[in-house]
């Protein structure tokens, strides 16, 4: 059996807590993170049926503020920012001048001209430079990533656990809104396809939040969840992951993220490229597929149609809920229809798969 070794990744602020809960640690984008505590399958199921708590403090937080903030973000982001209410949040790709994706982000409106932006861990520096480099003199961009910690409470029991832990004040928090909490915020967002919350607090308060949630939630079935199940949960919900489904050269239209753009906006970075693609069509597209024959698809495996290369797998896994082997891939638009049978090359063997509609999993409301 062969395994790869990692080189000195950064530790999370709750590293010791993870070890105490029996975490198996591993590398994720330069961070030493819990891969799982008991098992990926068990943790995946816990989030689908009860609740799970994730430490996602590796993620980045940027603050954009100043008298020109609203005008500046309107000019640089691919969705309209001005209609956002205070305490409201919105998801979107960050687009470069060529129409590629710098990152995917969530923008929170904290005041008329103050915005919090949650960014992917691996992109903190790149995003900071992107925002700071375009900012006029009356807009200040600050990287809060070192001082803020982030936990995600996800699953059907998360609302009950959250309100018992922190009070009825949070009971009616709506999806994609936030409320203030302990020098940070609680938002009703997530990356699992379940109901849930993300809790951002100063690093100094992170441990106390972690402990109180387990004190309240433990008896209801709340378990710590590692990055293994975070990946299977988001994959099953067909949520793209930067570095897999998204990168600097793929466009949001190819990534099937047109819903997260506003192409009626006159101008933003990359808007000409994207509007052109909208008019003339895209050459490749993100799709979901399910294996028909035995085999687990993994990132970078080639996708073929009758032996002809037509695309590449971006993510793939065995899925605990259904027991199926599924994946996402980019394939030529002409081969992207639901039902089309393709071959995934797994260790030099062509293994049949069928395109299915996304998401693979949708929670019952």
Partner 1 sequence: MDFPENLRYTKTHEWIAVQGNKGRVGVTAYAQQEISDVVFVELPKKDQVVQQVKTAAVVESVKAAFDIYAPVSGKITDTNKTLESNPGLINQSPYGDGWMFELELSNVGEVNSLLTVQQYKDLVQQTPKH
| Residues with Cβ within 8 Å of residue 231, at least 6 apart in sequence | 241, 315, 317
Residue-wise burial string across 33-68, b where 16 or more C-beta atoms lie within 10 A, e elsewhere:
bbbbbbebbebbbbbbebbbbbbbbbbbbbbbbbeb
- Contact letters for partner 1, residues 190-229 (x by CB under 8 A): --------------------------------------x-
Interatomic CA distance for residues 243 and 240, integer angstroms:
9
- Cβ proximity to partner 1: between 11 and 215 the closer is 11
Q: How far is CA 331 from CA 67, 112, 153, 327, in A?
A: 44, 42, 34, 12
Residue of the chain from 85, 174, 347, 364 that contacts partner 1 (CB under 8 A): 347
Applying CB under 8 A, does 232 fall inside the site for partner 1? Answer: yes
Shortest Å, Cβ 298 to partner 1: 7
H/E run at residue 300? none
124-163 residues near partner 1, rule: CB under 8 A:
none
Burial of 301 (0-12, 13-18, 19+ CB in 10 A): buried
Interatomic CA distance for residues 142 and 232, integer angstroms:
33
**178 with 117: CB under 8 angstroms?**
no
Shortest Å, Cβ 296 to partner 1: 5
Applying CB under 8 A, does 348 fall inside the site for partner 1? Answer: no
- Cβ proximity to partner 1: between 9 and 68 the closer is 9
- Cβ proximity to partner 1: between 99 and 295 the closer is 295
- Cβ proximity to partner 1: between 24 and 304 the closer is 24
- Contact letters for partner 1, residues 22-51 (x by CB under 8 A): --xxx-----x--xx--xxx----------
Residue of the chain from 132, 273, 282, 296 that contacts partner 1 (CB under 8 A): 296
Residue of the chain from 231, 245, 254, 256 that contacts partner 1 (CB under 8 A): 231
Interatomic CA distance for residues 187 and 199, integer angstroms:
6
Q: How far is CA 2 from CA 5, 53, 77, 87, 346, in A?
A: 10, 31, 44, 49, 18
Q: How many residues bind partner 1 (CB under 8 A)?
A: 24
Applying CB under 8 A, does 295 fall inside the site for partner 1? Answer: yes
For the CA atoms of the chain, what is the radius of gyration? 21
- Cβ proximity to partner 1: between 323 and 339 the closer is 323
Binding site for partner 1 (CB under 8 A): 1-3, 24-26, 32, 35-36, 39-41, 228, 231-232, 294-296, 298, 317-318, 320, 325, 347
């Amino acid at each position: 059996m062969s395994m790869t070794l990692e080189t000195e990744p950064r530790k999370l602020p709750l590293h010791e807590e993870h070890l105490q809960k029996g975490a198996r640690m591993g590398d994720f984008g330069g961070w030493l993170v819990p891969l799982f505590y008991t098992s990926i399958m068990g943790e995946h199921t816990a989030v689908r049926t009860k609740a799970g708590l994730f430490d996602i403090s590796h993620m980045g937080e940027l603050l954009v503020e100043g008298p020109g903030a609203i005008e500046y973000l309107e000019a640089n982001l691919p969705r309209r920012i001005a209609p956002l209410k205070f305490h409201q949040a919105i998801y979107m790709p960050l687009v470069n001048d060529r129409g590629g994706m710098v990152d995917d982000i969530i923008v929170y409106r904290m005041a008329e001209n103050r915005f919090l932006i949650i960014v992917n861990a691996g992109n903190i520096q790149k995003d900071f430079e992107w925002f700071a480099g375009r900012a006029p003199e009356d807009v200040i961009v600050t990287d809060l990533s070192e001082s803020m910690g982030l936990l995600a409470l996800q699953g059907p029991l998360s609302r009950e656990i959250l309100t018992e832990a922190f009070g009825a004040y949070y009971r009616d928090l709506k999806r994609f809104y936030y409320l203030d909490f302990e020098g940070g915020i609680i938002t009703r967002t997530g990356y699992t396809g379940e109901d849930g919350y993300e809790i951002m607090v100063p690093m100094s308060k992170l441990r106390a939040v972690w402990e109180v949630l387990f004190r309240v939630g433990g008896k209801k079935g709340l378990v710590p969840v590692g990055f293994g199940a975070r990946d299977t949960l988001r994959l099953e919900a067909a949520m793209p992951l930067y570095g897999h489904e998204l990168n600097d050269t793929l466009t949001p239209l190819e990534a099937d993220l047109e819903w997260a753009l506003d192409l009626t906006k006159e101008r933003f970075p990359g808007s000409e490229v994207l509007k052109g693609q909208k008019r003339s069509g895209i050459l490749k597209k993100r799709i979901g597929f399910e294996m028909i024959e035995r085999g687990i698809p993994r990132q970078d495996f080639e996708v073929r149609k009758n032996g002809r290369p037509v695309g590449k797998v971006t993510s793939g896994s065995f899925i605990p809920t259904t027991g199926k082997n599924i994946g996402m891939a980019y394939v030529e638009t002409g081969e992207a229809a639901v039902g089309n049978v393709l071959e995934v090359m797994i260790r030099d063997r062509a293994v049949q798969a069928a395109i299915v509609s996304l998401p693979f999993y949708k929670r019952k409301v």
